[in-house]
Structure 1
Amino acid sequence: MGRILFWAIATVMLAGATHLAVVLFTPDISMASLIGRITAATAVNRMVVLEPEETATLVHEINPDLAYAVCPYDIVDNDLQITLEIPDTYWSISIYNERGDNIYTLNDRQAGASYLVLRLVQKASASDETLVPSLTEGNAVVVRTSSLRGVIMLRAMVPNGAYRQRIRDVLAASRCAPQARETS
């Protein structure tokens, strides 16, 4: 009886440890895999509108009501300026670091603008991190981060199939380009 109880407890503990490991590490591995796929398939510091087939392959999102544009970024040598042409439907922009952590998100309701300039800048010190930047005059946002590499993802709602090309054209007008660092 003691031997059966020992193996039952050992099995339950092993199953619990396995479950805990999957719950804790799968999201990080999954997001790192997503960033790796996007970075391998597209140019760094350049906004690319994904075709629906690419979205299914790279992003693994199956929402046909959204169009996607991505920009793998690297701000080791230069800051990055993202110029967004905003569609008149729901949209959001998210910035993910190389570990897959979401470091910044903004959507249409928060911005209230049809044009936006977002500058991604290396933070100078730990106290320099921008947690919740706000829009300034001219619809500009500066995000200060210690994440030197990652992916910027722009999503836009496609109300129906007739608007898909119009939304894609608006996303294609968005730019992601290195900018010289400002010196103080």
Structure 2
Amino acid sequence: MKRFLLWLLGGLMLGGIIHILIVLNLPALAEQTSWRRLAQIDADNRLVVLEAPETGTANPLGLDPALLYGICRVDLSQGPAYMSGTLPDAFWSLAIYDREGIVTYATTNRDGIGRTLDVGVFNAAQTRQLAQQELDVEEGLLIVESSANELYMLVRLAPYDEAVRPRFREALSQINCGVSTED
């Protein structure tokens, strides 16, 4: 009986270890990641305003139809990335994601930024250059350091009324985003 219980305990422990390993490695095996879905949108070094999902249609990115979305993909190995512009006086947020979909940085206009969006994203080497004053940046630039080079920046804008949606969409499309190749 004692031997049976030891085998049972050993089997349960081995099964638990295998289960944990599979669960932890499953995301790496996924074929349709958000990074691959966004690769289909030509948003490299420019902000693209996404179309709102229609009721009853597929929504593979899980977008909220009440919000406006602007997406920009950047690769910091090509240089520091910048996003700048002025957004309407309504709630907006900025989130910077790495290739795995992990948030590197996030902010909203409620953080005291107001309507102006002026962000520079740097990798560790570029941050060192910045500290040694080898890179010139404008005063007031919000500096974000990323451990990953491949990123996407997502701006969410919440129109307070359906009537202002076209104007807000236009304002969102005027946001500049991309990698600076200047040395």
**What is the TM-score with the length of structure 1 in the denominator?**
0.72
Letter in 2 for 1:112: I
Aligned CA-pair RMSD? 3.5
Residues 86 and 126 of structure 1: CA distance in aligned 2, closer, same or farther (over 3 Å): closer
For the 8 Å contact 1:65–1:159, the answer to whether it is kept is no
Q: Within 5 Å, which residues of 2 pair with 1:1-184?
A: 18=19, 21-22=22-23, 24=24, 33-53=33-53, 57-61=59-63, 63-124=64-125, 139-182=140-183
Cα shift readout 1:141-160 (whole Å, capped 9, x = no counterpart):
11122311021100011222
Residues 137 and 122 of structure 1: CA distance in aligned 2, closer, same or farther (over 3 Å): closer
**What is the TM-score with the length of structure 2 in the denominator?**
0.73
Length, aligned pairs only: 173
Query: Percent of aligned positions with the same letter in both sequences?
Result: 25
Letter in 2 for 1:47: L
Task: State the alpha-carbon separation in 1 of the partners of residues 139 and 115 from structure 2.
Answer: 11
Q: Which residue of 2 aligns with 1:131?
A: none
For the 8 Å contact 1:113–1:139, the answer to whether it is kept is no
SS of the residue corresponding to residue 33 of structure 2 reads helix
TM-superposed deviation, 1:116: 2.1
TM-superposed deviation, 1:27: 6.7
Structure 2: unaligned runs, 5 residues or longer: 130-136
Cα shift readout 1:9-44 (whole Å, capped 9, x = no counterpart):
979x8599658854x5667777x7112101222231
TM-superposed deviation, 1:122: 2.0
Cα shift readout 1:99-140 (whole Å, capped 9, x = no counterpart):
211000010111332112111122129999xxxxxxx98542
TM-superposed deviation, 1:79: 1.4
Task: State the alpha-carbon separation in 2 of the partners of residues 139 and 114 from structure 1.
Answer: 14
